[in-house]
Structure 1
Amino acid sequence: LAACSSRAAREAELAAAEAVRAAAVQESARLEQEQARQQAAEQRRQRELRAAERAREQAEQERRAAIARAEEEAEQRRQEALEAAEQAQLAEIAEAEAQRQGNLDRITELERQIAAVQANASNDEAVRQILQEAIKVAEELLDVLTTEQAKYENTDADGIPVEPLAKDLIAELEQRKDELVRQASSR
């Protein structure tokens, strides 16, 4: 009976040990399963983190590219505006220069016209002076001829004037008169 009892206790011990072992195996399997689940969850979380990081990096690259494009476009617009302003300024300068040149040309033409008018006026003045001189000479000639005419009223028996005639003076006055008329005609 004691052997039976010891056998039953042994079997109970073995069964308890088997139950403990089975529980340990089951616990180990559960732990392995939990560990595998956690590992899978961690791997999934890591993949999601990497995907999120890649998405964040991609978004950052796109944001930087968009900023760079916007800056490039803004710089291009700024350059175009500067070029347009420079072209407008050059056009204004060219227009002002053309207007200035036109004014200079007009001034030159007016100066030419003034010089021509002055030359004509000077010429007219010279002609007027020549004509006045010619009139004066003609008046002198008329006076001399009148005096000479009077000399013919006082003649000797042969009809020769008693007072000698001023032939040289008359010739000189006629020559001066002819020269003045010629000068006036040439102008």
Structure 2
Amino acid sequence: MKKTATIFTDVWIIEPDIFKDERGFFLESYSEKKLANLGIKSNFVQDNHSKSVKGTIRGLHFQLPPGQRKLVRCSSGEVWDVVADIRPESPTFRKWFGVILSEENFKQIYIPVGFAHGFAVLSDIAEVQYKVSNYYDPNLERGIKWDDAKIKVDWKTNSPILSQRDLNNPSLNEFYST
């Protein structure tokens, strides 16, 4: 397992060791020990799994403190996975980073607390699975506008499909002014 840096100090691309042969492949999609050896403390308590059609955008989502650290992977299809820094005191506040996660490249992304997360489905169908460090609490769930004018995410899709919730999320400025 290896980790690759992103534009954010604590957001990492994780690539598992993959063993392929004529039968297919084998990999450990999660190893607390191997992540710890890379300097990533996990303590994940819940797994989430979504299935979405092409053009779907889910995000940008985050949780209020204590928040959730996430380890995200795409087990079927392909997604454009996006992380945005929403920490006002951070030198990278409002910056975003995107990476393709797919069943072909096996990449994962580790996201600490203080970042909003979302993805756009690039394939006909995609399944995304992610581990989180705290249990879901609807009272702590928040989101910011997927097309926030100050963050300017390039979602890699021309006809986004969004939930009513994601359509109605506030901008980051509106979130911090309430």
- TM (norm. structure 1) is 0.14
Question: 1 or 2 for the larger relative contact order (CA 8 Å, sep ≥6)?
Answer: 2
Q: Which protein has the bigger strand share?
A: 2
Task: State TM-score, norm by structure 2.
Answer: 0.15
* Larger proportion of helix: 1
